[in-house]
Amino acid sequence: MRKILLADDHPDIVKLLELSLKEEGYTILKAYDGAETLRKIEEERPDIIILDVVMPPPDGYRVLHHVKSDPALRDTVVVMLTVRDEPEDTTLGLDIGADFYLGKPFRPGDVVSLIRRIFDAREFSTQRGTEGIDRHS
């Protein structure tokens, strides 16, 4: 089962992404603040987390740090999707361990394409036993 956690404090963004990704057959989990996000990550172990930076504590950077510093979670793909998209924000997110960093506003189709590409690459790398995706593109 392909599970995606949508973590954003704006319900309309979560709903938009949920509708777009459900059409692709993915299982969607939702969280609206940092604490709920951490709880869902521990309980559900999603394959991919689409994570906003600006949300009630802890913020997305702290959630990202938690995920990437935990050996049991560090292989979880994290896509930052945020209005914080100045070069220094992007650099910080990638330095902490974000696999992808996207700015808002965004086109849902672009996010769906990226998610599809991530899952396709994971399947390819599993079949070949190699890492099959450039995570910082």
Whole-angstrom distance, CA of residue 90 vs CA of residue 98: 9
Give strand pairing partners of 6: 30, 50
pLDDT at 136 over 60: no
Q: What are phi and psi of 77, to 5 degrees?
A: -75, 130
DSSP label of 59: P
The token pair at 121 is: 């690459």
Classified as helix, coil or strand, 48 is strand
Q: Given a cut of 80, is residue 133 above it in pLDDT?
A: no
pLDDT tens readout for residues 5-55: 999 999 999 999 999 999 999 999 999 999 999 999 999 999 999 999 999
Sequence letter at residue 116: R
What pTM, to 2 d.p., does this model score?
0.90
Domain 3-128 has CATH 3.40.50.2300: yes
> Each residue of 46-95: pLDDT tens digit?
999 999 999 999 999 999 999 999 999 999 999 999 999 899 999 999 99
Q: Retrieve residue 33's tokens.
A: 């603040």
